């Protein structure tokens, strides 16, 4: 229905405005744009008349275009076509410079507001006050309290979704389309941490939050197509055609009223409670609370889901390492339950996951920033107000000058770097959650992914539980090859259709 709204609004005008905007950039346009282009080479043609084709290429082949740009400008800068703009992509020494650029000039929050249209879709509480950061930090401080909830929900989620998505094969194996099944599994795990029982198992609620998150994303994409002064009107018009966010508010309102009636120390230990504690108005707008919830759920889901499926495909493609991981788990856990503290002692698993993320090509670019004021890099290149800038990521992860045998999956690569079986002086430096100039999956600097500790906890627990409870393998038709990734708009998604076989292990009932 959103597309119907878009069609009613300004059908050919949108394309015309976008085309003329891109053409102005190609032909010079104004002094700021010319300054922006000094010494920064476009990787594909930005000539007049070629701009639309370049934008299409940028959307479809951003992964290979950024790789080409890195090879040509390994320690410099280049531009690519993306979303109607020509953002500057930096590499080499300029990555650290970007990471430490002041928020007053190159802003992460402004980039988030622009791409997610947070002010219109959620409100100023999240777009200006960034309450989501306070919520994530509070969640990180309480991870040990959240882990038992994740642990308890893992068994229920796997049982439910394997029953729903699994196809029985011979000898007790079940075949599962991994991407789809684990999308629902990780959604359920995140919902347990975010809103708790019973809603995390309520199908109506689960469907609503999945639709709500997708609806927010699509609205943001469509709103960005409009001139800034028309976005508010466009958003109001879209509401007539899509009521998903409003449906989520209606479902959550009774829960909010119930919790407001409780003393703060009586409220459940979940993310919704943390959000409520950060919204200080006497009568807060439910849209702010629900919108913040959906935004955080969408981010958490995207990270935990794609990371886990990438890891799962490495586990089944390289079965020779499975028993090594299981042995480490046995040594750490014995016959006891999986605890939050013990997850941190799994040094080999930590190295395995970091290497899997490195090899998965998670994203071609990272550290996206929006210039709220003109910024000048140390080489004299100016980024005018209103322009985008980012850093290369995957090309660095695949650079043989940085990583020996960079294209090979070596699960103990980072363990060996730390020394002393992962307990050496560099153990934290090469830990899964540690950002670095040569490991940019989490970004870098003060705006490195604040939820990475939560994501690491969920993925680690899920991997440990599955390795203990199940034998896993690829179907014979895969011929032992890891399912190929899907490259979309600079991101690398795990294969959407690949199947993985699971079989319950005999005589085991570890949690």
Nearest to 442 by CA among 381, 376, 383, 358: 358
| Distance of alpha carbon 178 from alpha carbon 173, whole angstroms | 14
CB 17 within 8 A of CB 227: yes
How far is 300 from 441, CA to CA, in rounded Å?
Answer: 15
> Which neighbouring-strand residues pair with 41?
78
Q: How far apart are CA 418 and CA 434, in angstroms?
A: 13
Helix ranges, 224-268 (H): 231-239, 244-260
Q: Is 449 annotated as a binding residue?
A: yes
Q: In terms of DSSP bridges, do strands 77-79 and 41-42 run parallel, antiparallel, or are they unpaired? A: parallel
Q: How far apart are CA 179 and CA 183, in angstroms?
A: 6
Strands 174-177 and 375-376: unpaired
Strand ranges inside 131-199, DSSP E: 167-168, 174-177
CB atoms within 10 A of CB 191: 26
Residue 407 near residue 398, CB atoms below 8 Å: yes
Hey, is 168 helix, strand or coil? strand
* Distant-in-sequence contacts of 1-8, Cβ < 8 A, 24+ apart: 1/241, 1/242, 2/215, 2/218, 2/219, 2/222, 2/238, 2/241, 2/242, 4/241, 5/222, 5/234, 5/237, 5/238, 5/240, 5/241, 5/242, 6/222, 6/225, 8/237
Q: Binding-site residues, please?
A: 449
Binding site as annotated, residues for heme? 449
């Amino acid at each position: 229905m959103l597309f119907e709204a878009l069609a009613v609004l300004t059908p050919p005008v949108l394309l015309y405005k976008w085309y003329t905007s891109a053409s102005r950039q190609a032909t010079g346009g104004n002094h700021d744009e010319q300054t922006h282009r000094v010494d920064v080479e476009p990787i594909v043609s930005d000539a007049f008349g070629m701009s639309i084709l370049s934008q299409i290429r940028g959307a479809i082949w951003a992964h290979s275009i950024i790789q080409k740009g890195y090879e040509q400008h390994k320690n410099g800068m280049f531009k690519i076509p993306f979303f109607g703009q020509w953002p500057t992509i930096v590499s080499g020494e300029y990555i650290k410079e970007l990471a430490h650029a002041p928020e007053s000039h190159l802003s992460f929050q402004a980039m988030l507001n622009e791409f997610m249209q947070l002010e219109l879709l959620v409100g100023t509480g999240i777009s200006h006050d960034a309450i989501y950061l306070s919520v994530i930090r509070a969640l990180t401080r309480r991870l040990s309290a959240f882990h038992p909830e994740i642990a308890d929900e893992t068994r229920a989620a796997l049982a439910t979704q394997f029953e729903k998505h699994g196809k029985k094969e011979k000898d007790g194996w079940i075949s599962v389309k991994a991407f789809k099944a684990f999308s629902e599994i990780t959604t359920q795990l995140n919902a347990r941490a975010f809103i708790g029982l019973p809603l995390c198992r309520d199908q109506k609620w689960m469907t609503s939050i999945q639709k709500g998150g997708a609806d927010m994303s699509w609205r943001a994409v469509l709103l960005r197509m409009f001139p800034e002064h028309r976005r508010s009107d466009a958003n109001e018009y879209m509401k007539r055609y899509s009521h998903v966010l409003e449906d989520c508010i209606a479902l959550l309102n009774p829960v909010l009223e119930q919790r407001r009636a409780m003393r703060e120390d009586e409220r459940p230990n979940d993310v919704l409670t943390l959000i409520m504690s950060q919204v200080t108005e006497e009568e807060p707008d439910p849209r702010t609370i629900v919108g913040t919830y959906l935004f955080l759920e969408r981010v958490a889901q995207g990270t935990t889901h794609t990371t886990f499926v990438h890891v799962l495909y490495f586990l089944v493609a390289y079965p020779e390492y499975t028993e090594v991981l299981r042995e480490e788990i046995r040594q750490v856990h014995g016959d006891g339950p999986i605890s939050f503290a013990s997850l941190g002692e799994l040094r080999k698993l930590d190295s395995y996951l970091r290497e899997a993320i490195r090899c998965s090509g998670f994203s071609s670019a990272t550290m996206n920033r929006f210039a709220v004021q003109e910024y000048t890099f140390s080489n004299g290149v100016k980024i005018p107000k209103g322009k985008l800038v980012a850093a290369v990521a995957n090309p660095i992860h695949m650079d043989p000058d940085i990583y020996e045998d960079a294209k090979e999956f070596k699960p103990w690569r980072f363990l060996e770097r730390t020394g002393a079986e992962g307990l050496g002086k560099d153990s934290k430096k090469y830990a899964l959650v540690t950002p670095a100039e040569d490991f940019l999956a989490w970004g870098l600097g003060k705006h490195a992914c604040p939820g990475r500790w939560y994501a690491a906890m969920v993925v680690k627990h899920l991997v440990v539980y599955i390795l203990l409870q199940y034998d896993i393998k690829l179907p014979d038709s895969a011929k032992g090859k890891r399912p190929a990734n899907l490259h979309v708009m600079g991101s690398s998604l795990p294969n959407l259709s690949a199947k993985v076989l699971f079989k319950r292990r005999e005589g085991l009932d570890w949690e």
